[in-house]
Amino acid sequence: MADPILSIRDLKVEVDIGGRSLSVLDGVSLDLYAGRTLAVVGESGCGKSMTALATMGLLPERFAVTGGEILFDGEDLTRLAAPRLRQLRGNAISMIFQEPMTSLNPVMTVGRQIAEVVELHQGRSRAEAREIALEMLRAVHIPGPEQRLDAYPHELSGGMRQRVMIAIALACRPRVIIADEPTTALDVTVQAQIFRLLRELQMDTGTAILLITHDLGAVADMADEVAVLYAGKCVERGPVDAILGAPSHPYTRGLMSCTPRLRLGAAALQPDPRGLGEIPGMVPPLGRFPRACRFGPRCGLADARCHAEAPPLVPTGPAHTALCWHVPPHSAEARP
């Protein structure tokens, strides 16, 4: 496989709360490759969006990268000066935010918002940028693009607003797109359309996509590889078929058990008779992460060692690893 476009290495992020530095991300490592999608999954509060914001240099106030590196074309994004980071952001690396109504400017037409990105990063004239904006609306399959070009965000449906966000992200043909819950609050039909659109555009441009989601159905539909985050750590990583078909980490297996499944009955699709599982407890809050295995307090397999020592990173198959004491090496391929 070719070298990754973007490499996150041992990333650490902390937040200052009342003079105390609390860990948010602790040693997250990820690789993105051209034309491929890496899905980052986990419950709310596990660090998915913080990974994206750190990559884009958009961490909120009081949050800071305190270790590791984020390499893009040999440059460490965590150490770039603000002007250079602004040159890359929205140009070579773009982000699709999860709520377009709060991300789009309500007093600017959608066409102007797309054109502004092109003018800023590509130096195009206002007329040229407007023409590119129209092309982008066509590319994301918005009906009546000539009319929608001069529409305001509130005049569009949720699905069309999300398409506008995608058009803005793609306007400069970025090499990396970070999609943070890109189909939140959209109905399932529109979700399918958005994911189909992203796949089509990825095939055309070779863009690498970092998909942040809690929807394992979206992972199965979109991803080539998966990273599972829990309490600021990556607890499992590997090819999508291995992660979804033979998960190694107890947390990943718990997430899978919580996902509704259908089976083909005699006449129609019926709910899986095994029903839904659940993971007891909750993700620990900042400042209360366990010192050893972070999933230990919620894990049915945890023993004294799990509560006393941090688990090792165990290879469980080709390009498949898990952070757990109870995963025998290469067990993923043997597990049914």
The reported pTM is 0.89
Residue 318 falls within a domain, yes or no?
A: yes
The reply to whether 115 falls in a domain is no
Do the Cβ atoms of 162 and 109 come closer than 8 Å? no
Spatial separation of the C-alpha atoms in residues 16 and 22, rounded to whole Å: 6
**Is residue 299 assigned to a domain?**
yes
Question: Mean pLDDT lowest for which of 134-138, 245-249, 263-267?
Answer: 263-267
CA quadruple 285, 286, 290, 292: dihedral sign: positive
Name the strands in the sheet holding 63-72, side by side, starting at the edge strand that comes first in the sequence: 20-32, 6-17, 63-72, 75-76
Statement: residue 142 has pLDDT above 50: yes
Instruction: List pLDDT tens digits, range 251-262.
Output: 999 998 887 764
d(CA 147, CA 149): 5
In this structure, the chain runs to a length of 336
Quote the DSSP letter at residue 63.
E
256 in any annotated domain = yes
pLDDT of residue 236: 97
Over 70: is that where the pLDDT of 242 sits?
Answer: yes
When the pLDDT of each residue in the chain is averaged and rounded to a whole number, the result is 89
What's the pLDDT at 260?
Answer: 72
Token pair of 32 as six digits: 């993105």
Contact between 30 and 227 under an 8 Å Cβ cutoff? The reply is yes
The answer to whether position 46 is within a domain reads: no
Does residue 335 or residue 326 have the better pLDDT? 326
Q: Is the pLDDT of residue 238 over 90?
A: yes
Q: Band of the pLDDT at 334, cuts 50, 70, 90?
A: very low
Pairing of strands 208-212, 37-41: parallel
Q: What are phi and psi of 294, to 5 degrees?
A: -70, -25
Total count of domains within the chain = 1
100 assigned to some structural domain: no
Classify residue 18 as exposed, middle or buried by CB count within 10 Å of its CB (0-12, 13-18, 19+): exposed
Q: What is the pLDDT of residue 23?
A: 95
Predicted pLDDT of residue 185: 67
Is 143 a residue whose pLDDT tops 80? yes
**1-10, 92-101, 105-114, 278-287: range with highest mean pLDDT:** 105-114
* Three-state secondary structure call for residue 208: strand
The verdict on residue 13 lying in a domain is: no
Give the tokens for residue 146. 């000539």
Angle at Cα 85 formed by Cα 169 and Cα 97, nearest 5°?
30
Please return the burial class of 115, using the count of CB atoms within 10 Å of its CB with bins 0-12, 13-18 and 19+: buried
Q: What does the block give as tokens for 234? A: 């990556």
Whether residue 68 lies inside any domain: the answer is no
What percent of the chain clears pLDDT 70, i.e. is strictly above it?
93
pLDDT digits (tens, 9 = 90+) for 75-108: 999 999 999 999 999 999 999 987 777 889 999 9
Instruction: For residues 179 and 238, give the distance between their C-alpha atoms in angstroms, rounded to a whole number.
Output: 19
Domain holding 334, by residue range, is: 252-260+275-336
Handedness of CA 193, 195, 197, 199 (dihedral sign): negative
Angle at 53 between CA 21 and CA 70, to 5 degrees: 85
